A and B are shown apart, each in its own frame.
Chain A
Amino acid sequence: MMQKDIKRLSLYLLFAPFAMWITLLIILPHLGMFYISMREKVAPRVYEFGFDNYINFFNEPIYWNTLLRTGSMSLLVTVLALLLGFPIAYYIAKIAGNRTRGALFLMCLIPLWVSDLIRAFGWILLLRETGIISSSLQWAGLINTPIEFLYNDATVIVGLVYTVILFMIVPLVSTLDGMDDAMIEAGYNLGGNGPTVLRRIIIPYAMPGIVSGCIVVFMLTAGSYLTPILLGGKNSSWFTEQIYDQFITRYNWESGAAFGFVLLAFTSLVIWIGLKLSGQTLNSTVARS
């Protein structure tokens, strides 16, 4: 009997930090936000309950256009990160020797030691009209007038891919690492060529890593704030900027909170669709890698 109590107690103790973390930092704030998002401001210090803030979102094309724009650009970033990240991960996991592997991994990690803000300023220094790239192209005689690389959507995408690609590489490396080289050899022995082996053996095996990398990258991108704000131009609205504006410049916490939930629902929906399409589940992907 005593033994059982101790067991149970240690279970509770082990579980406590996690439970506190989830309740205090995730569940409670979200409940508070949800409460705020359901309030309608009718007059100073007078509120009513209702779905008005959500209805406003759907009635105003600017808002859902921005959300769709953010969503589609995030998907593009995810695809690009996958295309760029896969060869790198494959090289690290399968081709590089044991010693270079550590070094390569470290090289991928190093940019992450610098804060988002500094990295964005780095891009600004490189890409601005009087920046390093533009002036060295001029110096080389390739262009005659300075070119502005900054302040457009392409720059935002490049900046975002650079910021998130590590989160694609890490799960891919860990999945590919667990793959037996014999499987690839067997593929070739059975008469497969490079593309066939990639398509029929490597990608299916790496699928959990691909999906979990995509989920993380998509969530990070759709929720990012600094990079799109600093690198984006006159027309580049990002949904998080919309939320910030509602909260801070318009003092409209009610609709800001509603927007937050809309973003949460939207990204969850995209991920659910992605899981359905790829035939994976959360258990087989994120939980594993």
Chain B
Amino acid sequence: MIMKLAMAGLLATTVMAAVPAQAETLRLLTWGSYAPDELVKKFEEKYPDITVEVTFSNNEEMIAKLRATGGAGFDLAQPSHDRIYAVQQEYNIYKPLDLSKINTDVMQANLLDGVKANTTIDGEVYAVPHQWGTSGLMANKSLAPDVAAWGDLCDPQYQGKTSMRLRRTILLGMAFDMGEDPFAAYADLDKYQEILDKVADKLIACKDNLKAYWKGGDDLSAMMMSGEIVASETWDSTAYKLYGENKDIVFVPPKTGALAWIDTFAIPRKGEADDAAYKWINFVLEPENVMIMSASTGAIAAVEGGKDMLPDDKKEAVNAAFSDEAMSNLKFFANIPAGVEDMEGKTLEKIKAATGAE
């Protein structure tokens, strides 16, 4: 039976591969919710000769997919701004952008300059900003009113009622919480290793305090909504979504600063529809489309006045979370130099494998 299934699967893939590609197809590799159906339909109506194919993914999988093919198979990708420089140097999977074809005037100047500075190699720019948001904390104000810093997740008064994702964000957040500046330490990897060791000790000691590590927005939402946990490390968009359903659940920018990411547009090296890709970039930057996009992603568009283009409920959630002071205290993720992924990966493994008293 298994053999039969395998053969059927094989047949199905060959049949699919045999369907000829249409005149112009834009193969988009992006985050879940970054290509809402409404927008795709609108785009295809405006450009009837372009068909949009969307693949949802995340930073790591996007890079793995492109690396597997040397940058073929997709025409436009949307990795975060800190995942381009080292990846490009190591695997050569993107091609330089032709900025003259992109409507960069509408982009928020500081974000554009920041992304350009982070992704310029040999004078060529490899990415422009699309949406940005933050990672920080989420707390149920009625049950955990005092949560204000990364370290509060390890506060014994919330024993068994906090959560985090065991990825690099929490390493960086905890490092800031302990008074270090991990981004500055990227220049001196020995120093960074020291910081990581300290963070690992702290997070291993903290393990008993956690209920579980969350793995995706869905299980985090379920734990938070049911009251099984009262505070967690989170993406802001997940927190904003929950705020819409329960006004007690708010996003809390940690007092050391929320960690900010910018998702970008980058064109894979062997992309075959550059023109369509540029059309899509300019299309989603148009104000009315920005509103559709932001309603779907819950993130803020990197255009001038992007915050005001959020739908009302999201705008309310952002205003409830961020004071002007917290807004100016954002810590943008710094470029990940080669080798850091390995160091961080080893640290995460160490934390996961450490058996606290369970």
Interface residues of A (CB under 8 A from B): 17, 21, 25, 44-45, 62, 65-66, 124, 128-130, 148, 150-152, 229-230, 233-235, 237, 242, 245-253
What residues of chain B lie closer than 8 Å to A245, measured between beta carbons? 345, 348-349
| Known contacts A44-B338, A250-B341, A251-B341: A151-B211 contact under CB 8 Å | yes
* Nearest residue, chain A, Cβ from B216: A230
Check A234 against B353 for contact (C-beta < 8 Å): no
Check B61 against A248 for contact (C-beta < 8 Å): yes
Check A235 against B352 for contact (C-beta < 8 Å): yes
* Nearest residue, chain B, Cβ from A69: B353
What residues of chain A lie closer than 8 Å to B16, measured between beta carbons? none
| Known contacts A234-B212, A248-B61: A130-B227 contact under CB 8 Å | yes
From the candidates B91, B228, B348, B356, name the one contacting A235 in the complex (CB within 8 A): B356
B 326-358 binary contact with A (CB < 8 Å = 1; else 0): 000000000000100110010011101111101
What residues of chain B lie closer than 8 Å to A129, measured between beta carbons? 226, 228
* Nearest residue, chain B, Cβ from A256: B64
- Complex Cα spacing A151 to B348, Å: 18
Check B349 against A249 for contact (C-beta < 8 Å): no
Is B19 interfacial (CB-CB < 8 Å)?
no
How many chain B residues touch A (Cβ–Cβ < 8 Å)?
39
From the candidates A44, A45, A250, name the one contacting B342 in the complex (CB within 8 A): A250
- Complex Cα spacing A245 to B338, Å: 17
What residues of chain A lie closer than 8 Å to B341, measured between beta carbons? 249-252
Check B227 against A25 for contact (C-beta < 8 Å): no
| Known contacts A21-B10, A234-B212: A66-B345 contact under CB 8 Å | no
Check A251 against B64 for contact (C-beta < 8 Å): yes
Is B247 interfacial (CB-CB < 8 Å)?
no
Can you list 15 A-B pairs, Cβ within 8 angstroms, ordered by A? A25-B10, A44-B89, A62-B353, A128-B226, A129-B226, A234-B352, A235-B356, A237-B349, A237-B352, A237-B353, A245-B348, A246-B345, A249-B167, A251-B91, A252-B341
What residues of chain A lie closer than 8 Å to B60, measured between beta carbons? 248-249, 251
A232 CB to nearest chain B CB (Å): 9
* Nearest residue, chain B, Cβ from A131: B226
Check B228 against A130 for contact (C-beta < 8 Å): yes
Helix, strand, loop or mixed for chain B's interface?
Answer: helix
Check B215 against A251 for contact (C-beta < 8 Å): no
Check B10 against A65 for contact (C-beta < 8 Å): no
- Complex Cα spacing A286 to B42, Å: 56
B 1-23 binary contact with A (CB < 8 Å = 1; else 0): 00000110010000000000000
| Known contacts A44-B90, A45-B90, A62-B350: A148-B226 contact under CB 8 Å | no
- Complex Cα spacing A195 to B326, Å: 73
A44-B86, A229-B215, A235-B352 given. 6 additional CB < 8 A pairs? A44-B89, A130-B227, A235-B353, A235-B355, A237-B349, A251-B60
Is B186 interfacial (CB-CB < 8 Å)?
no
A56 CB to nearest chain B CB (Å): 10
- Complex Cα spacing A45 to B90, Å: 6
* Nearest residue, chain A, Cβ from B65: A248
- Complex Cα spacing A251 to B226, Å: 36
Check B342 against A252 for contact (C-beta < 8 Å): yes
- Complex Cα spacing A253 to B67, Å: 10
From the candidates B10, B90, B91, B345, name the one contacting A249 in the complex (CB within 8 A): B345
| Known contacts A44-B90, A129-B228, A251-B64: A230-B215 contact under CB 8 Å | yes
What residues of chain A lie closer than 8 Å to B61, measured between beta carbons? 248
Is B63 interfacial (CB-CB < 8 Å)?
yes
What residues of chain B lie closer than 8 Å to A233, measured between beta carbons? 212, 358
B244 CB to nearest chain A CB (Å): 20
- Complex Cα spacing A242 to B350, Å: 12
- Complex Cα spacing A229 to B89, Å: 32
Is B81 interfacial (CB-CB < 8 Å)?
no
- Complex Cα spacing A242 to B211, Å: 22
Is B158 interfacial (CB-CB < 8 Å)?
no
Is B207 interfacial (CB-CB < 8 Å)?
yes
Is B261 interfacial (CB-CB < 8 Å)?
no
* Nearest residue, chain A, Cβ from B228: A129
Check A234 against B349 for contact (C-beta < 8 Å): no
What residues of chain A lie closer than 8 Å to B207, measured between beta carbons? 234-235
Check A242 against B349 for contact (C-beta < 8 Å): yes
Check B345 against A252 for contact (C-beta < 8 Å): yes
A222 CB to nearest chain B CB (Å): 17
Q: What 4 A-B pairs are tightest by C-beta distance, nearest first?
A: A250-B345, A130-B226, A44-B90, A151-B212
What residues of chain A lie closer than 8 Å to B7, measured between beta carbons? 17, 21
Is B183 interfacial (CB-CB < 8 Å)?
no
- Complex Cα spacing A237 to B351, Å: 11
Is B210 interfacial (CB-CB < 8 Å)?
yes
| Known contacts A44-B89, A62-B353: A234-B358 contact under CB 8 Å | yes
Check B349 against A62 for contact (C-beta < 8 Å): yes
Is B43 interfacial (CB-CB < 8 Å)?
no
B5 CB to nearest chain A CB (Å): 11
* Nearest residue, chain A, Cβ from B218: A121
What residues of chain B lie closer than 8 Å to A128, measured between beta carbons? 222, 226, 228
What residues of chain B lie closer than 8 Å to A65, measured between beta carbons? 353
- Complex Cα spacing A246 to B346, Å: 10
What residues of chain A lie closer than 8 Å to B356, measured between beta carbons? 234-235
Is B31 interfacial (CB-CB < 8 Å)?
no
What residues of chain B lie closer than 8 Å to A251, measured between beta carbons? 60, 63-64, 67, 87, 90-91, 341
- Complex Cα spacing A184 to B227, Å: 57
What residues of chain B lie closer than 8 Å to A150, measured between beta carbons? 212
* Nearest residue, chain B, Cβ from A248: B60
* Nearest residue, chain A, Cβ from B342: A250
B77 CB to nearest chain A CB (Å): 15
What residues of chain A lie closer than 8 Å to B283, measured between beta carbons? none
